[in-house]
Structure 1
Amino acid sequence: MRTDLPVLNLTEPQTVVRYYDNPVIGGFHPDPSVCRVGEDYYLVCSSFEYFPGVPIFHSRDLVHWRQIGNVLDRTSQLPPLTDAAAFGGIYAPTIRHHDGRFWLITTNVSHGGNFVVTAERPEGPWSDPVWIDLPGIDPDLAWDLYRVGEWWYLLIAEGGTERGHTVAMARARTPRGPWQPAPTNPILTHRGTDLPIQSTGHADLVTTPDGDWWMVLLATRPRGFTPGFHVLGRETFLTPVDWVDGWPRVGPVKPRERATGSWQPVEPYPTRDDFDTADLAPQWISPYARPRDSWSLVDRPGWLTLHATGSTLDRPGATFVGRRQQHPDCRAAVRLDPGSGRAGLSVRLDEAHHYDLEVVDGRAAVIARIGPLRERVADGPVPPGPVTLVITTRTAGVDRGAPDVVGFHVDDDPVPLAELDGRYLSTEVATGFTGRVIGMYVTEGTACFDWFDYEPTSGTRHHGPRQT
């Protein structure tokens, strides 16, 4: 629930040029909240059961975002969530800038409820939580300077977070009401349409220095035959806003929109990590917790070393370090030295829904966990020493019922060890609020990873699965 619309009086001109593609932050980045400080925009998203929590992004044009850190990056802010269910944890943050400081309020639904953290710089460090005795979720922050003319506006998420999701609005002369609903409520929804973008809702508003208004919001991109399956989670979209008779007017959210600001392409995350830095990059996340003794960048310099903390990905507690899948068609690859351990590359929604490409005892296996079922789908020998593991997703040439096909390759063999239907790693099958995360794991002993590479692909057809 958004209770404030920032009116900022900076007048530095920005050039309105070009077009941009939606989503502006692809993959599992729901519940966006945005604020502007001068010519810089900062945006945060929900992180649910993953650590570190609340990714924070920076942009100069509202279109191209780069992650600059995570707000909750230590256990004093985000205690281990090992007792939480999947898609528990951190819900719906709101970020604001006031009196020279950044302020963020959010809810830990698994531990403690609502709290506020602050920072002098958006990349941190952020303070330890100040807990608030406030029921509910999706809180907001407001100061007296945040209003439009003589009106306070209330931006409301309604209709659930599925296909019926909507954005509604009300206004009042004071924060205590009485509140008047917008005559055209909901001001935004895609319910009842066949548009390629669905579940539009949970929005926030921001102005540019030249006075244009924009809305960030979550939405999904379902694929496949009815009911459609979205596999990347709820993503961050952008759409322009006009004001008519004292109310915002928002058109349907399009895959392609006219941009604002100077157009300077940047990637939200680096596409490759050679693990030659002193600490893990901010895009790397782990479910529930990341014990300091479970990973190292110094045990074997230039490699990420993972130590097993759990015996299976089917239960919380296993060592897993991954990044969000951001594109419907993509390729993720790692160079793995399994040693004497059991390790691999996995694409994950939760403990009951994941596909794994695993190496142990000189063989690579594809393992599918779908609900109560666990099956070893295919396997084959691998040479001793380091091996390259590749997981691909493609949307071209798949059965019309599936959103995509997930392929598993060893040492860049163009013929996959196996291909699996992607619908079983979708929200419509698994339920929940998150999207796919592709990551490295170890469930026995110790394993080392030389590099991780992720890239969007064109979705071209691959060869059929290898016969084993």
Structure 2
Amino acid sequence: MLLTSLASILALGMGAVSTSLAVSHKTYTNPIIPGWHSDPSCVYVSEQETFFCAASTFIAFPGLPLYASKDLVSWELASNIFNRPSQLPDLADTEGQQGGIYAPTLRYRDGTFYLIVSNLGPSIKGLVFTSTDPYDDDSWSEPLVFPVYGIDPDIFWDDDGQVYVSSADNNMIHHYSLDLSTGEIGDVSYLWNGTGGAYPEGPHLFKKDGYYYLLIAEGGTETNHAVTMARSKNRTGPWEPCPHNPVLTNKGTGEYFQTVGHSDLFQDGKGNWWASALSTRSGPNWVNYPMGLLKEINSYCM
């Protein structure tokens, strides 16, 4: 039984100098998408002047909801990416709340939306869904299936158009090429294992001003959850950790929002960089009784 709710929250960073959105004179209040919306991944599509965010759903059906907003304040459900059994028939054979599809990465390129995610079912596999109409369930494709290393895959296009996946397995971020027409992957490189926190995972790779930036989650999904970053002139490293790590966390604080982590970055229509992240509205004492008081809650089980 889940005893706290996960919410998607926002932060402004990575060199941004104002809180201007694509629509001027707006403010936002966290959480932007309340309820169970863990592992948010967001993009801004300039042609539509719209933000889109996807989130984890594990073994729920329909799954992988896609939300749309013009201003990061008012959101609507645009579609469910996983919306028919044929897309993932073995989900019916997946046991346990921690199985299924979670930690997606949403990206937009040349008129097409890409959603990459791993499925932890009877077997572990990577999935890539595509669509050219984010408001139509039927537009979302049957997934491209590929052999994924572990969990939390990210998809990244380098300057030459080559596609790469970064994913988390055995306390290390793995990195390899992916052929989007065949599902074949290339040789694996090992990028980074973070700054010493438990469970380095949730990688996202970006390129800005000649540097590759690797964003990951560390510390596990409880109160030590944090976001760290490293950069490199080369896609496969060596990596220079940010001197201000962790770049986002609420660990060790008395803040109402706890377990802040598993972040993604995106730019708005004015070029500002934003971070989305998950959190629990649990407070530092981890006491929450949404279904009535049964006993004191000492830990969070995901």
> TM-score when scaled to structure 1?
0.47
AA aligned opposite 2:65 = P
- Equivalent-residue separation in structure 1 for 2:264 and 2:66 (angstroms): 15
CA distance in structure 2 between the partners assigned to 1:103 and 1:69 by the alignment: 14
Q: Which 4+ runs in 1 deviate beyond 3 A? A: 12-16, 426-429
1:109 aligns with 2:167: no
Q: CA shift at 1:140, angstroms?
A: 0.5
Cα deviation code 1:243-290 (max 9, x no counterpart): xxxxxxxxxxxxxxxxxxxxxxxxxxxxxxxxxxxxxxxxxxxxxxxx
2:75 and 2:209 map into 1 onto residues whose CA distance is: 30
C-alpha RMSD of the superposition? 2.6
Confirm or deny: 8 A CA contact 1:93 1:138 kept in the other structure. yes
Partner residue in 2 for 1:144: 158
1:58 aligns with 2:58: no
Q: How many pairs are equivalent? A: 234
Moved more, 44-53 or 80-89: 80-89
Which of 22, 25, 44 aligns to 1:17? It is 25
TM-score when normalising by structure 2? 0.71
- 1:142–1:422 CA distance, 2 compared to 1 (3 A): farther
The residue aligned with 2:92 is 81
Alignment of 1:102-181 (within 5 A): 102-111=113-122, 112-124=124-136, 125-145=139-159, 147-181=207-241
- What amino acid does structure 2 have at the position aligned with 1:186? P
Distance 1:24 1:192, change over 3 A: same
Distance 1:152 1:423, change over 3 A: farther
Residue in 1 that maps onto 2:176: none
2:39 paired residue number: 31
Counterpart CA distance in 2 for 1:141 and 1:427 is: 37
Structure 1: gaps spanning 5 or more residues: 7-11, 230-402, 407-419, 433-468
Amino acid at match of 2:286: G
Do the aligned residues in 1 keep the contact of 2:23 with 2:71 (CA within 8 Å)?
no
- Equivalent residue, structure 2, for 1:305: none
Partner SS for 1:140: strand
Is the partner of 1:76 in helix, strand or coil? helix
After TM superposition, give the deviation of residue 57 of structure 1 in Å: 0.3
Flag the 1:53–1:13 CA change in 2: closer, same or farther, 3 A: closer
Instruction: State the percentage of identical aligned residues.
Output: 39
Distance in 2 (CA, whole Å) between partners of 1:189 and 1:123 is: 33
Cα distance between partner residues in 2 of 1:71 and 1:129: 10
Provide the C-alpha distance between the structure 1 equivalents of 2:279 and 2:21, rounded to a whole number of angstroms.
30
Could you say what secondary structure the match of 1:81 adopts? Answer: helix
For residues 100-136 of structure 1, give each alpha carbon's deviation from its aligned partner in whole angstroms, at most 9, with x where no partner exists: 2111100111144211111111134211111111211
Q: In the alignment, is the contact (CA less than 8 A) between 1:81 and 1:89 conserved in 2?
A: no
Partner of 2:246: 186
Structure 2: 5+ residue stretches without partners: 1-12, 15-19, 160-205
- Structure 2 contact 104–115 (Cα < 8 Å) conserved: yes
Q: CA deviation at 1:14?
A: 4.0
Specify whether residues 422 and 197 from structure 1 end up closer, same or farther in structure 2 by C-alpha distance, changes over 3 A only.
farther
- Residue in 1 aligned with 2:4? none
1:363-401: CA deviation from partner (whole Å, max 9, x where unpaired) = xxxxxxxxxxxxxxxxxxxxxxxxxxxxxxxxxxxxxxx
* 2:293 equivalent among 415, 418, 421: 421
Q: Match of 2:200?
A: none
What is the aligned counterpart of 1:228 among 261, 286, 291?
A: 286
SS of the residue 2:236 aligns to: coil
1:10-34 Cα distance to aligned partner (Å, 9 max, x none): xx98454253321111011000000
Q: How does 1:30-429 map to 2 (within 5 A)?
A: 30-38=38-46, 39-79=49-89, 80-111=91-122, 112-124=124-136, 125-145=139-159, 147-222=207-282, 227-229=285-287, 403-404=288-289, 406=291, 420-421=292-293, 428=299
Distance, in Å, in 2 between the alignment partners of 1:127 and 1:101 is: 11
Q: Note closer, same or farther for the CA distance 1:74–1:184 as it changes in structure 2 (3 Å cut).
A: same
Q: What SS class does the counterpart of residue 174 from structure 1 fall into?
A: coil
